[in-house]
């Protein structure tokens, strides 16, 4: 059964399949529904013989959907922080997935690069709770910022990465987007022409929007990311020193 929701982004359709509630790009509805025939999308991905596993907040999988050439990433939504041990992957009805889709579409339209959400699916999880799987288009030739910074990098390479991160933070300020969990694992560095990399934003389910250009939003994002950089310097030995952080902050605030 197909349904249209008034608040659903353009190009997406809502489908009810058994007890699964699906919101999906119209062009991808058939392969997503086929993947749900024998269980959840996450189960489909975990059993896929050619799945690529990535470590995030729990395992995520890069796979192909049935009868579809495009590769996608499928992940199960999970709570972080103190709620992780209490509710884990169970959310009150609605879950964070609709908000994540809305934020992703708004960011993309505003010129902030973030992986396209193909679909999300929610399933009953007992009482008022539901589980959610989110499907994004797989980005080829990409690594998260944390993984790259753990390598031995030439100064010019490291500076180029942080310059692109600064550009991303400037874009977030321009659109008034506050990411309360901005860290080195939530920034994806995507290879482009001539091995240049562009910074993309990940895990946008908790992003909220304030006034475009609000410097307080920019300052909050910078504080969160620089705290993550210092934490990773201590725990993983990344070669980002205080002068690197100072240059990043300066670029975001328009001082250079």
pLDDT tens per residue, range 53-91:
987 667 899 999 999 998 999 999 886 554 554 566 777
CA dist 208 and 7 (Å) reads: 17
Cβ neighbours around 232 below 10 Å, total: 19
Residues 6 or more apart whose CB falls under 8 angstroms from that of 218 comprise 169, 170, 172, 173, 252, 253
Identify the pLDDT of residue 140.
85
Identify the pLDDT of residue 87.
61
Q: Which domains does the chain have, with CATH numbers?
A: 2-137 (no CATH), 142-252 (1.10.510.10)
CA 35 to chain centre: 22
Q: Evaluate if residue 254 carries a pLDDT over 90.
A: no
Give percent of the chain with pLDDT exceeding 70.
Answer: 91
Identify the pLDDT of residue 141.
83
Identify the pLDDT of residue 139.
93
pLDDT tens per residue, range 33-47:
999 999 999 999 999
Q: Evaluate if residue 236 carries a pLDDT over 60.
A: yes
CA dist 71 and 60 (Å) reads: 13
Kindly report which listed range (22-36, 39-53, 91-105) carries the lowest average pLDDT score. Answer: 91-105
Which one is predicted more confidently, 80 or 185?
A: 185
Kindly report which listed range (13-17, 55-59, 92-96) carries the lowest average pLDDT score. Answer: 55-59
Q: What is the four-CA torsion angle of 132, 205, 195, 232, rounded to 10 degrees?
A: -100
CB burial readout 34-44, b (16+ within 10 A) else e: ebbeeebbbeb
Which pTM does this prediction carry? Answer: 0.90
The tokens for 109 are 């339209």
The tokens for 145 are 């910022």
Which one is predicted more confidently, 48 or 1?
A: 48
Identify the pLDDT of residue 54.
82
The angle, 0 to 180 degrees and rounded to 10, between the axes of the packed helices 155-175 and 215-236 is 150
Residue 190 · residue 112 · CB < 8 Å: no
């Amino acid at each position: 059964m197909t349904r249209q929701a008034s608040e659903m982004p353009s190009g997406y359709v809502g489908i009810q399949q058994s007890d699964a509630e699906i919101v999906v790009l119209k062009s991808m509805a058939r392969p997503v529904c086929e993947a749900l025939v024998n269980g959840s999308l996450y189960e489909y991905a975990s059993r896929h013989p050619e799945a690529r596993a990535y470590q995030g907040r729990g395992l995520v999988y890069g796979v192909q959907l049935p009868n579809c050439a495009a590769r996608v990433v499928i992940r199960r939504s999970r709570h972080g922080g103190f709620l992780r041990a209490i509710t884990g992957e169970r959310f009150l009805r609605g879950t964070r997935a609709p908000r994540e889709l809305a934020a992703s579409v708004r960011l993309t339209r505003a010129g902030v690069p973030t992986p396209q959400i193909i679909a999300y699916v929610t399933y009953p999880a007992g009482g008022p709770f539901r589980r959610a799987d989110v499907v994004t288009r797989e980005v080829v030739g990409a690594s998260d910022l944390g993984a790259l910074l753990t390598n031995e990098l030439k100064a010019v390479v490291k500076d180029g990465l942080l310059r692109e991160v600064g550009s991303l933070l400037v874009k977030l300020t321009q659109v008034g987007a506050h990411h309360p969990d901005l860290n080195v694992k939530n920034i994806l560095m995507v290879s482009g022409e001539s091995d240049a990399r562009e910074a993309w934003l990940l895990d946008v389910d908790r992003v909220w929007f304030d006034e475009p250009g609000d410097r307080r939003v920019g300052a909050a994002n910078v504080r969160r990311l620089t705290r993550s950089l210092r934490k990773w310097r201590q725990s993983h030995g990344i070669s980002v020193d205080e002068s690197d952080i100072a240059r990043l902050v300066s670029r975001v605030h328009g001082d250079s």
